[in-house]
């Protein structure tokens, strides 16, 4: 039994056999060099098969991000320069198909490296992904875990596309030796709720090693003895017995974050106190037409009926920054995170906002509805929104349409809103801290760039100071305050929130 | 031969996805579409080479179109740049 200590990416525990995904050995030529014609034929079959593989992945992609990644990969594979390079390496230089791929990977990686541009350098991973697929095909290796059954994925590093390629359903745990806790792939892992740890030295782990990943304390145990396994099984069974492990024991309300009505089930409502963040962007993003009042009304109504009296907090649409909507064209900006997004869009498209408010007010009759507005920076913005809401209510009243005024809240996700939370608290019924944006804006760190991690504050000192200000101001004005950002799902900070007096946490359904 | 100039407005520049769309678009014509920027040039049907030109927000690119369908091609290319970049 060997015990390794690492950094936590995602909590939870998993036990299974290790599946090593090692890029270093993937490039090795595992077959004898054959004659030119055979090598060329092998190369062409590999290219067309991987193209088909990618086409299938594009079709079955579960979200737009996945789809985009594979489309770019397919386009790279179809690039004439890429395919010319491969063919020339076999035809003119007499190399094997595998070596040609390895050389192409080096050549095109170098080409992107030479640009000295961070974005292009990051695309090297995409070239490596495409080449790894080709090599795996030629070596007769499966890049998918499908046939192997559930396993703990062990790798030196992981790319977001790896996770998707391996088939997330088959990964019960993850151990990687390099990576950042706040990288894109780590965020994706937490979204999926897979217990994961970063361990610097993974050389003792071999394919097939029995391995216990404990994402709650950051330990990884190889070939655990019976005693350790029994303890693990005990923890696991008590986890499944209690309805809301860890979070359930907290002396505060626990809600969940939801991004689509399809994610909701009765079983989920049994495990939490309600919905603390219902994102409505999915109704707008990737659609060519805007959601109608009726369409929205029926979704919000269904949501409230399913909640059966429990709180449902709907965030009005947060378009802009990285979330664009075809039907709501916005100017291209140099710095979209600091541009027209959140409630700033409402003044450009007041009618679209009114339609959502109308649907919300009508649906509010069916349950306990709260609404909140994204990207608040001043009291004036809230007053403007509230005057629109009053107008909508007047209109419904005059037409005799049944409606109810929902509980109204402001998102605190900019330092300005936290600093002005005293006056903002006087205008609303609750405050909700969006810690992802609050962190990005407080530390002036783009959360999309892993290179910036060394500048980030692991203890969130500055962010917590702002949260403290907002909490005190909320309570001074007699209203509640909660956290709906990713920090809420991080059990390490639960004590901090309780001490500060946070009234509710809205967490990822996967941590419950 | 016809040409036009365009200043890139997309925040990330000619990144992978729009470059891919440009390649697909350029393949639809009999004319040869060439992109000039940062002292380099590249045919618009070559994805990796286009990406390696590192065309950023604010870069002025020159697009030339040469071939039998150049009139239609240049009009549609202009629209493509305005809509996507």
Q: What is the DSSP string of A34-86?
A: --HHHHHHHHHHHHHHHHHHHHHHHHH-SSHHHHHHHHHHHHHHH-HHHHHHH
CA distance A295 to A310: 22
Non-local CB neighbours of A351 within 8 Å, separated by 6+ positions: none
The single residue listed with the structure tokens 């890429």 is A82
Q: How far is CA A502 from the centre of its chain?
A: 24
The complex scores an ipTM of 0.87
Task: Tell me the chain B residues in contact with residue A338 when contact means C-beta distances shorter than 8 Å.
Answer: none
Q: How far is CA A64 from the centre of its chain?
A: 12
Task: Tell me the chain A residues in contact with residue B11 when contact means C-beta distances shorter than 8 Å.
Answer: 332-336
At A306 the pLDDT is: 92
Report yes or no: B72 at the A interface, CB cutoff 8 Å.
no
Report yes or no: B16 at the A interface, CB cutoff 8 Å.
yes
Q: What interhelical angle do A124-138 and A64-78 show, nearest 10?
A: 70
Name the residue in chain A with its Cα closest to that of B82. Answer: A332
Give the count of beta carbons closer than 10 Å to the beta carbon of residue A506.
Answer: 26
Q: How many CB pairs under 8 A join A and B?
A: 54
Task: Tell me the chain B residues in contact with residue A336 when contact means C-beta distances shorter than 8 Å.
Answer: 11
Under DSSP, the state recorded for A317 is P
Q: Which of B2, B4, B10, B15 is catalytic?
A: B15
Q: A141-173 burial, b if ≥16 CB within 10 A, otherwise e?
A: eebebeeeeebbbbbeebbbbbbbbbebebbbb
Task: Tell me the chain A residues in contact with residue B54 when contact means C-beta distances shorter than 8 Å.
Answer: 115, 117, 120
Chunked into runs of 10 residues, chain A (512 residues) has average pLDDT values of: 88 87 55 82 91 85 71 89 92 90 93 82 82 84 55 82 70 86 71 86 85 90 87 63 52 89 85 93 84 95 93 94 79 86 93 96 95 97 96 95 96 97 97 94 78 77 96 95 90 88 91 80
Pairing of strands A151-155, A480-483: unpaired
Burial class (CB in 10 A: 0-12, 13-18, 19+), A288: exposed
Task: Give chain B as a 3 state SS string.
Answer: CEEEEEECCCCCCCCHHHHHHHHHHHCCCCCEEEEEECCEEEECCCHHHHHHCCCCCCCEEEEEEECCCHHHHHHHHHHHHHHHC
At A120 the pLDDT is: 78
Among B8, B9, B16, B25, the strongest candidate for a mutation testing the A interface, having the largest count of A CBs within 10 A, is B16
**With contact defined as beta carbons under 8 Å apart, do A336 and A298 qualify?**
no
Query: Distance from first CA to last CA of chain A, Å, rounded?
Result: 30
For B1-48, write each residue's pLDDT tens digit.
999 999 988 877 888 888 888 998 999 999 999 999 988 899 999 999
**With contact defined as beta carbons under 8 Å apart, do A278 and A316 qualify?**
no
Q: How far is CA A73 from the centre of its chain?
A: 21
Inter-chain contact B47–A335, Cβ cutoff 8 Å?
A: no
Report yes or no: B15 at the A interface, CB cutoff 8 Å.
yes
Helix (H) or strand (E) run with residue A131 in it: helix A124-138
**With contact defined as beta carbons under 8 Å apart, do A128 and A23 qualify?**
yes
**With contact defined as beta carbons under 8 Å apart, do A276 and A312 qualify?**
no
Residue A352 structure tokens:
């679209």
Closest Cα partner for A494 from A482, A484, A505, A481? Answer: A505
The single residue listed with the structure tokens 């509980």 is A407
CA distance A176 to A199: 6
Burial class (CB in 10 A: 0-12, 13-18, 19+), A56: exposed
Give the count of beta carbons closer than 10 Å to the beta carbon of residue B34.
Answer: 18
CA distance A385 to A288: 26
CA distance A462 to A443: 8
At A200 the pLDDT is: 87
Closest Cα partner for A304 from A373, A362, A374, A390? Answer: A362
Inter-chain contact B20–A120, Cβ cutoff 8 Å?
A: no
Distance from the Cα of A68 to chain B's closest Cα (Å) equals: 8
Task: Tell me the chain B residues in contact with residue A334 when contact means C-beta distances shorter than 8 Å.
Answer: 11, 57
At A299 the pLDDT is: 95
Active site residue B27: no
Closest Cα partner for A130 from A59, A79, A189, A200? Answer: A79
């Amino acid at each position: 039994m060997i015990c390794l200590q690492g950094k936590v990416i995602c909590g939870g525990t998993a036990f299974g056999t290790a599946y090593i995904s090692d890029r270093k050995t993937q490039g090795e030529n595992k077959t004898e060099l054959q004659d030119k014609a055979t090598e060329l034929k092998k190369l062409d079959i590999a290219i067309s098969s991987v193209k088909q593989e990618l086409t299938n992945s594009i079709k079955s992609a579960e979200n737009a991000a996945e789809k985009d990644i594979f489309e770019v990969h397919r386009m790279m594979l179809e690039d004439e320069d890429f395919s010319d390079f491969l063919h020339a390496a076999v035809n003119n230089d007499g190399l094997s198909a595998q070596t040609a791929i390895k050389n192409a990977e080096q050549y095109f990686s170098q080409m992107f490296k030479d640009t000295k541009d961070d974005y292009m350098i990051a695309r090297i991973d995409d070239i490596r992904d495409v080449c790894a697929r080709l090599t795996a095909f030629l070596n007769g290796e499966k890049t998918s875990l499908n046939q192997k059954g559930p396993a703990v994925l062990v790798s030196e590093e992981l790319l977001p596309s790896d996770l998707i390629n391996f088939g997330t359903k088959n990964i019960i745990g993850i151990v990687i030796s390099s990576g950042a806790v706040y990288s894109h792939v780590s965020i994706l892992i937490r979204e999926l709720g897979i217990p994961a740890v970063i361990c610097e030295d993974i050389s003792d782990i071999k394919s097939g090693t029995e391995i216990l990943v404990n994402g709650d304390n950051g330990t990884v145990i190889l070939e655990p003895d019976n005693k350790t396994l029994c303890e693990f099984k005990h923890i696991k069974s008590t986890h499944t017995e209690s309805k809301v492990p860890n979070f359930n024991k907290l002396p505060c309300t626990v809600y969940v974050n939801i991004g689509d009505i399809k994610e909701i089930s009765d079983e989920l409502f049994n495990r939490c106190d309600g919905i603390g963040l219902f994102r409505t962007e999915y109704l707008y993003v990737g659609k060519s037409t805007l959601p109608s009042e009726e369409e929205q009304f029926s979704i919000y109504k269904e949501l409230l009926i399913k909640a059966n009296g429990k709180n449902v907090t709907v965030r009005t649409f947060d378009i802009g920054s990285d979330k664009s909507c075809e039907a709501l064209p916005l100017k291209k900006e140099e710095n979209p995170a600091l541009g027209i997004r959140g409630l700033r869009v409402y003044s450009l498209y007041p009618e679209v906002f009114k339609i959502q408010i109308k649907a919300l007010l009508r649906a509010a009759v069916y349950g306990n509805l709260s609404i909140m507005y994204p990207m608040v920076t001043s009291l004036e913005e809230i007053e403007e929104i509230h005057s629109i809401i009053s107008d909508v209510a007047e209109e419904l009243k005059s037409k005799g349409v049944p409606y109810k005024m929902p509980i109204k809240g402001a998102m605190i996700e900019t330092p300005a809103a936290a600093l002005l939370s005293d006056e903002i608290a006087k205008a609303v019924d609750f405050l909700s801290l969006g810690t992802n944006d609050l962190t990005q804006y407080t530390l002036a760190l783009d959360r999309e760039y892993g290179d910036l991690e060394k500048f980030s504050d692991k203890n969130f000192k500055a962010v917590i100071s702002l949260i403290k200000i907002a909490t005190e101001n909320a309570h001074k004005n007699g209203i509640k305050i909660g956290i709906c950002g990713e920090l809420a799902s991080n059990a390490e900070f639960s004590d901090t929130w309780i001490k500060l007096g946070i009234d509710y946490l809205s967490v990822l359904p996967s941590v419950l | 031969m016809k040409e036009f100039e365009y200043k890139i407005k997309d925040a990330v520049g000619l990144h992978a996805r729009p470059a891919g769309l440009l390649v697909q678009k350029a393949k639809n014509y009999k004319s040869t579409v060439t992109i000039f920027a940062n002292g380099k040039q590249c045919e618009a049907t070559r994805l990796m080479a286009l990406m390696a030109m590192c065309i950023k927000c604010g870069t002025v690119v020159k697009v030339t179109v040469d071939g039998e369908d150049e009139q239609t091609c240049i009009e549609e290319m202009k629209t493509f740049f305005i809509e996507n970049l």
